[in-house]
Amino acid sequence: MSRPKNQNYKGHGLSKGKEREQRASIRFKTTLMNTLMDVLRNRPGWVEVKDEGEWDFYWCDVSWLRENFDHTYMDEHVRISHFRNHYELTRKNYMVKNLKRFRKQLEREAGKLEAAKCDFFPKTFEMPCEYHLFVEEFRKNPGITWIMKPVARSQGKGIFLFRRLKDIMDWRKGNAGKKLTSLEAQPARSTANPSGSHDARSSDDQKEDIPVENYVAQRYIENPYLIGGRKFDLRVYVLVMSYIPLRAWLYRDGFARFSNTRFTLSSIDDQYVHLTNVAVQKTSPDYHPKKGCKWMLQRFRQYLASKHGPEAVETLFSDMDNIFIRSLQSVQKVIISDKHCFELYGYDILIDQDLKPWLLEVNASPSLTASSQEDYELKTCLLEDTLHVVDMEARLTGREKRVGGFDLMWNDGPVSREEGPPDLSGMGNFVTNTHLGGHLSSSSPALAPSHG
């Protein structure tokens, strides 16, 4: 399916180091009906294309990508919202496989200390193929809690916790359906994917056909940091514009998603206690649509600073930067870096009682549906700023370190907060240009292009 040359594309020559062309209008397409559609429709100069019409910008879903990307011809200026094999990072088993490989490589090349900086994901085994390794590990630590998660689903679907090997044996014999219903999951359809094992990861917005057997068994973090006795995890947004060289932006805003029910380890079957997904929590009888179950990151940061002091918070947030960057580096050489592609990832981070952040998963299609007015505003700004960075309008110089709420975190190396070379502190840790949970209107130079 190749497309004829774009008729609507006029050369005018704006400067961005090289000659840039200015478009009379930008034709966009999307399959998502949520805040994204509002942002795209309100963007000056952008026009919606329906059906088979030609487009310059497509915010597609991952299933479209899998079926069409390989046969779609794209002009130089065209942009699309996923990398071809995004699932290397966004599918739970591949993410762990890539991180384990990267850790080994670091150990070989830079030593144990450097490799230890990748110790931010809980011990994980792919099931059923690593079942025997898992059993070995399980027997070493009797009594601890494990979590089973389907590799390619989202919104807490299909997840269950267990402590006895018997539970997993039942599951292995094909009794997964029983467990799934206990956590209100919809049974997965066991349709094989035509593209083999490397199929795409489902998103917060849609489900995909996946074999029921594909799970990860992961060590359950039994000591989550609690606020008001309740568990939460963080949703943080990272925008990758290129893998080679790695160029990634971190969004200042995000949120903590709380459980409605007080945390306890005595009822491991209660999803309202253990799964912080909004999709799960909003079905809880205690859920108040007005109150919701979210805190913006700024509020969370202030809370922690008042409890533990600013230094502890700085350390926590720089440990999170480490997670974003190392996880991207772990797939840098695996992801097909294509200049037409960008990706807005939603990171799920859990913090434990020692203020250590853990990476739970990375989402290719973080939910863009708003659960409250505040959430609507966050997502609208996030998407507007994403489009500013993608820069279809060719307004940026390419030297910006900040665009709206996005800070350039990595540009083929750490980006310094100040002018000059990057700060390198301590044992090769980097201090990079990030302001997670910082104010959007902070005093650092905002290079946000006007919305007009």
Which spans of this chain sit near Mg ion (rule: CB under 5 A)?
348
Which CB sits closer to ligand ADP, 375 or 384? 375
Residue 158 CA to residue 177 CA, distance in Å, equals 9
Which CB sits closer to ligand ADP, 127 or 360? 360
Residue 221 interacting entry, from ligand ADP, Mg ion, none, C-beta within 5 to 8 Å by type: ligand ADP
Enumerate the β-bridge partners of residue 121.
none
Residue nearest to Mg ion (CB): 348
Least distance from ligand ADP to the Cβ atom of residue 203, Å: 9
387 phi and psi, to 5 degrees? -65, -30
Task: Enter the tokens of residue 108.
Answer: 């070989």
329 DSSP 8-state letter? H
Distances (CA, A) of 435 to 345, 355, 407: 17, 18, 7
In sign, the C-alpha dihedral spanning 298, 303, 306, 308 is negative
Angle, vertex CA 331, rays to CA 102 and CA 367, nearest 5: 125
Contact set with ligand ADP (CB under 6 A): 122, 147, 149, 153-157, 159, 218, 220-221, 233, 275-277, 348, 350, 360-361
Least distance from ligand ADP to the Cβ atom of residue 349, Å: 9
Q: How many residues does the chain have?
A: 452
Residue 365 interacting entry, from ligand ADP, Mg ion, none, C-beta within 5 to 8 Å by type: none
Least distance from Mg ion to the Cβ atom of residue 359, Å: 11
**132 within 8 A of 139, measured Cβ to Cβ:** no
Helices 35-42 and 373-390 cross at an angle (nearest 10°) of: 50
Residue 239 interacting entry, from ligand ADP, Mg ion, none, C-beta within 5 to 8 Å by type: none
Residue 261 interacting entry, from Mg ion, ligand ADP, none, C-beta within 5 to 8 Å by type: none
Residue 231's closest CA among 263, 207, 209, 254? 263
Which CB sits closer to Mg ion, 253 or 348? 348
Least distance from ligand ADP to the Cβ atom of residue 161, Å: 9
Helices 310-331 and 92-110 cross at an angle (nearest 10°) of: 100
For residue 134, count other CB atoms closer than 10 A to its CB. Answer: 22
Least distance from Mg ion to the Cβ atom of residue 149, Å: 9
Residue 350 interacting entry, from ligand ADP, Mg ion, none, C-beta within 5 to 8 Å by type: ligand ADP
Least distance from ligand ADP to the Cβ atom of residue 55, Å: 29
Which CB sits closer to ligand ADP, 348 or 393? 348
Which CB sits closer to Mg ion, 79 or 235? 235
Which CB sits closer to ligand ADP, 30 or 155? 155
Which CB sits closer to ligand ADP, 143 or 420? 143
3-state secondary structure of 116: helix
Least distance from ligand ADP to the Cβ atom of residue 103, Å: 18
